[in-house]
């Protein structure tokens, strides 16, 4: 048994259900067999053809994972959060080798030993699980628990999350973007930020979401005079604020944008293979060319992924930078 949260460590150490290489002592009381009798020994040498693992917990992630054969393919499905019948899963095809990898995990942790074992600690630990497996030779595993997680939970969760990461890293929708570039020699700095905002609608009692595009320009003040803060409102959505002293001038433009533009942004990111920039970090002390910093957040299953790239203080650039830079700037300026 895997403890839920940080409670009942001693109980977990006593029973140790699903511990890799564990034993079956202590199956009376809190742990019992379905139908009240030990199941007939099965042959688990065959290949796994379907597997379901559902887990729910109050102090950690919850979800449901499914793997099953579909002809020459393997279908992988994942639900995030508390599973509810009819909820739409993330679904993708996976290589058949994942079933062999899963079988090795099941064998290593001797999960089949707990077929038809029901667990209930008797404590209120706010977690539960269901595990089902079917083999091509007819063997099966069924086990579940209230107020317990299997000791193999961490390995199972990591196994399925690897499939999510390999197949879904940049397949989600873009949630927000921050793009800065500067010309140090000219003291000219521009920062574009496209971020989600939420506003309460008193008529529908719902939170309505929209995007806010913020453009900040920091440049030399060539007027030779101090600039008091001035605000210009264009229509009902765009606000421009200008402030500065004798040396520096800052202009901030904010406008509300429809969320549909994120689809256009994703096309630009995909066309220029900007995802390949992730992790780019050019360094140095050059000041005669563009410096940039890019941060894109994706909203994806079970986690958020992001693209981060910069060349702060260097003249190094990722592949295709010039064309992508022009497309990104054109995208933002068309919205202002």
3-state secondary structure the chain: CECCCCCCHHHHHHHCCCCCCCCCCCCCCCEEEHHHCCCCCCCCCCCEEEEEEEEEECCCCCEEEEEEEECCEEEEEEEECCCCCCCCCEEEEECCHHHHHHHHHHHHCCHHHHCCEEEECCCCCCEEEEEEEEECCCCEEEEEEECCECCCHHHHHHHHHHHHHHHHCCCCEEEEEEEEEEEHHHCEEEEEEEEEEEEEECCCCEEEEEEEEEEEEEEECCCCCCEEEEEEEECCCEEEEEEECCCEEEEEEEEEECCCHHHHHHHHHHHCCHHHHCCCECCCCCCCCCEEEEEEEEEECCEEEEEEEECCCCCCCCCCHHHHHHHHHHHHHHHC
- pLDDT tops 80 at residue 317: yes
pLDDT recorded at residue 313: 56
Q: What is the pLDDT of residues 122-133, one digit of tens each?
A: 666 678 899 999
CA dist., res. 158 & res. 197, Å (int)? 33
Q: Which residue has the higher pLDDT, 118 or 313?
A: 118
Residue 256's contacts (CB-CB under 8 Å, 6 or more residues apart) are 197, 210, 211, 212, 213, 237, 238
Are 156 and 54 within 8 A, CB to CB?
A: no
Q: Which residue has the higher pLDDT, 334 or 206?
A: 334
Mean pLDDT for 19-35 is: 51
- pLDDT tops 90 at residue 173: no
Strand order in the sheet with 48-57: 31-33, 117-120, 140-146, 127-135, 48-57, 63-70, 73-80, 90-94
Lowest-pLDDT range, 74-83, 152-161, 201-210, 215-224? 201-210
Q: Which residue has the higher pLDDT, 258 or 238?
A: 258
pLDDT recorded at residue 27: 41
Q: What is the pLDDT of residues 35-91, one digit of tens each?
A: 777 888 899 999 999 999 999 887 777 889 999 999 888 999 988 877 777 777 888
pLDDT recorded at residue 298: 80
Lowest-pLDDT range, 11-15, 39-43, 131-135, 320-324? 11-15
pLDDT recorded at residue 1: 56
Token pair for 283: 């360094």
| Domains of the chain (ranges, CATH numbers) | 9-168 (3.30.1560), 173-335 (3.30.1560)
Most confident of 10-19, 60-69, 307-316: 60-69
Could you tell me what percent of the chain has a pLDDT over 90? 33
pLDDT recorded at residue 22: 36
Q: What is the mean pLDDT of the chain?
A: 81
Q: What is the pLDDT of residues 174-206, one digit of tens each?
A: 889 999 998 877 788 999 999 988 777 788 777
CA dist., res. 5 & res. 267, Å (int)? 42
């Amino acid at each position: 048994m895997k403890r839920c949260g940080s409670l009942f460590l001693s109980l977990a150490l006593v029973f140790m259900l699903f511990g890799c290489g564990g034993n079956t002592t202590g199956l009376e009381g809190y742990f019992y067999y379905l139908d009240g009798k030990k199941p007939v020994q099965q042959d688990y040498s065959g290949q796994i053809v379907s597997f379901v693992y559902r887990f729910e917990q109050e102090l950690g992630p919850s979800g449901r994972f499914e793997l099953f054969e579909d002809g020459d393919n393997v279908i992988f499905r994942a639900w995030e959060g508390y599973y509810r019948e009819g909820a739409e899963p993330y679904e993708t095809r996976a290589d058949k080798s994942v079933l062999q990898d899963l079988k090795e995990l099941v064998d290593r942790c001797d999960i089949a030993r707990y077929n038809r074992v029901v667990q209930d600690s008797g404590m209120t630990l706010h977690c539960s699980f269901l595990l089902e497996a079917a083999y091509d030779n007819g063997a099966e595993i069924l086990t579940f628990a209230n107020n317990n997680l299997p000791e193999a939970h961490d390995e199972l969760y990591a196994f399925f999350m690897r499939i999510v990461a390999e197949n879904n890293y940049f397949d989600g929708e873009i949630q927000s973007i921050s793009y800065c570039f500067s010309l140090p020699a000219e003291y000219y700095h521009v920062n574009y930020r496209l971020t989600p905002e939420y506003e309460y609608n008193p008529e529908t009692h719902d939170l309505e979401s929209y995007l806010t595009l913020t453009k900040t320009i920091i440049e030399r003040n060539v007027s030779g005079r101090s600039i008091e803060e001035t605000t210009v409102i264009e229509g009902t959505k765009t606000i421009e604020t200008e402030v500065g002293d004798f040396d520096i001038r800052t202009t901030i433009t904010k406008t509300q944008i429809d969320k549909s533009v994120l689809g256009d942004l994703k096309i630009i990111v995909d066309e220029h293979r900007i995802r390949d920039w992730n992790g780019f970090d050019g360094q140095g002390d050059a000041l005669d060319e563009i410096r940039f910093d890019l941060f894109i957040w994706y909203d994806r299953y079970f986690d958020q992924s992001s693209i981060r790239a910069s060349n702060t203080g260097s003249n190094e650039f990722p592949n295709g930078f010039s064309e992508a830079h022009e497309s990104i700037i054109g995208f933002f300026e068309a919205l202002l």
